[in-house]
């Protein structure tokens, strides 16, 4: 399957977890891959793995995606080395816990910068290049927490992911006329490094409260991402795709 042959996919947060798997799947579909993450070693490892395993050109870029200057340098490097971005997966994110009385102003600002502002910055940076091509897909990784206010995640995490849903809907209205789609995936708790923030007891109860009595597997989330990136999803726009075992049921 080489449905994305000749295309460029940029995945933020691709040093680990869901982003890394999405990068692998997009490479398997033939895309050239830009791996963007604050973790330089992890980004380099993913970029080298996808090149070796799938035989596609790749590029690792270590930046903080909440820095507009760094994002602009990243865009220039990706366009120079790989070409304009066709598929953007905004996956970089952080999780923190805490109710309103626990969260500090600094934690709130950091959460909004990494989980929300970064998506605006990276999307805004690559969009002009994407518009000049004939293929554009933007996939934002929101969360179940964005839909229901968070089950165990912090109030600032749920807020950032909820805002990402609205951002994606507004973006979809903006870019649709250019043949570009913008969608979200909304995963249930998935087995990645991120959930080490939760206690074992919290993880057990999230497993128990899901209709399918388990957590999401990272590959199940990656499958939803690559579907939205694929040619077959060309008329799916402003969709909030739950990968939650039926938990939200909306
Ligand atoms: N794992 C889950 O249960 C779950 C559920 C719903 C949504 N999500 C979302 O999925 C996305 C991926 O999460 P994951 O589970 O793979 O977690 P992860 O911690 O394995 O991956 C997140 C990646 O983002 C990178 N990152 C963090 N801050 C960054 C910054 N400022 N600049 C650049 N990169 C940065 C990290 O280095 C890491 O590689 C996140 O947006 C997360 O909120 C995860």
pLDDT in tens, 88-134: 999 999 999 999 999 999 999 999 999 999 999 999 999 999 999 99
**Average pLDDT over the chain, rounded to whole?**
97
pLDDT at 47 over 90: yes
Which atom of ligand 1 is found nearest the CA of 18? 16
Give 87-99 pLDDT, tens digit per residue: 999 999 999 999 9
Closest residue to atom 38 of ligand 1, CA basis? 13
Give this prediction's pTM: 0.98
**Cα distances (Å, whole numbers) of residue 167 to 16, 106, 128, 171:** 24, 23, 18, 6
Residue 213: in which H helix or E strand, if any? none
229-249 tens-digit pLDDT: 999 999 999 999 999 999 999
**Class (C level, CATH) for 8-243:** alpha beta
User: Sorting pLDDT into bands at 50, 70 and 90, what band is 1?
Assistant: low
pLDDT digits (tens, 9 = 90+) for 173-208: 999 999 999 999 999 999 999 999 999 999 999 999
Instruction: Decide if 145 contacts 97 (C-beta within 8 A).
Output: no
Query: Which residue lies with its CA nearest to atom 8 of ligand 1?
Result: 143
- Please list, in sequence order, all residues whose beta carbon lies within 8 angstroms of the beta carbon of residue 66, skipping any fewer than 6 positions away: 113, 114, 117, 118, 121
**3-class DSSP assignment, residue 152:** coil
- Tell me, in angstroms, the distance from the centre of ligand 1 to residue 191's CA: 12
Q: How far is the CA of 197 from the centre of ligand 1 (A)?
A: 12
Chain centroid to CA 56: how far?
21
Inter-residue contact 172 to 182 (CB < 8 Å) = yes
Summarize pLDDT for 120-176 with one digit per residue, the tens: 999 999 999 999 999 999 999 999 999 999 889 999 999 999 999 999 999 999 999
Does 135 participate in catalysis according to the annotation? no
H or E element: which one contains 231?
none
Of 62, 63, 93, 110, best ligand 1 pocket probe by most atoms within 8 Å of the beta carbon: 93
pLDDT, residue 151, reads: 83
Map out the domains of the chain as residue ranges. 8-243
Q: For residue 177, how far is its CA from the centre of ligand 1 (angstroms)?
A: 30
Among 65, 85, 150, 157, the active-site one is 157
């Amino acid at each position: 399957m080489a449905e994305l042959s000749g295309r460029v996919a940029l995945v933020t947060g691709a040093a680990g977890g869901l982003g890394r798997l999405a990068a692998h799947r997009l490479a398997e579909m033939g895309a050239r891959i830009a791996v963007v993450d604050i973790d330089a070693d992890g980004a380099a490892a993913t970029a080298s793995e996808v090149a070796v395993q799938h035989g596609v050109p790749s590029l690792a870029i270590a930046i903080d995606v909440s820095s507009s200057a760094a994002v602009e340098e990243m865009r220039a490097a990706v366009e120079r080395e790989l070409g304009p971005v066709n598929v953007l997966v905004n996956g970089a994110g952080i999780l923190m816990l805490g109710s309103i009385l626990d969260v500090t102003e600094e934690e709130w600002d950091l959460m909004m910068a990494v989980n929300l502002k970064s998506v605006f910055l990276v999307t805004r940076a690559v969009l002009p290049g994407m518009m000049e091509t004939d293929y554009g897909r933007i996939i934002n990784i929101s969360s179940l927490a964005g839909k229901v206010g968070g089950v165990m995640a912090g109030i600032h995490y749920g807020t950032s992911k909820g805002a990402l849903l609205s951002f994606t809907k507004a973006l979809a209205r903006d870019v649709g006329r250019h043949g570009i789609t913008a969608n979200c995936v909304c995963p249930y708790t998935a087995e990645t490094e991120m959930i080490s923030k939760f206690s074992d007891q919290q993880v057990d109860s999230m497993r128990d409260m899901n209709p399918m009595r388990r957590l999401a597997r990272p590959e199940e989330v990656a499958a939803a991402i690559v579907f939205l990136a694929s040619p077959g999803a060309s008329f799916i726009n402003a969709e909030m795709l739950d990968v939650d075992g039926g938990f939200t049921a909306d």
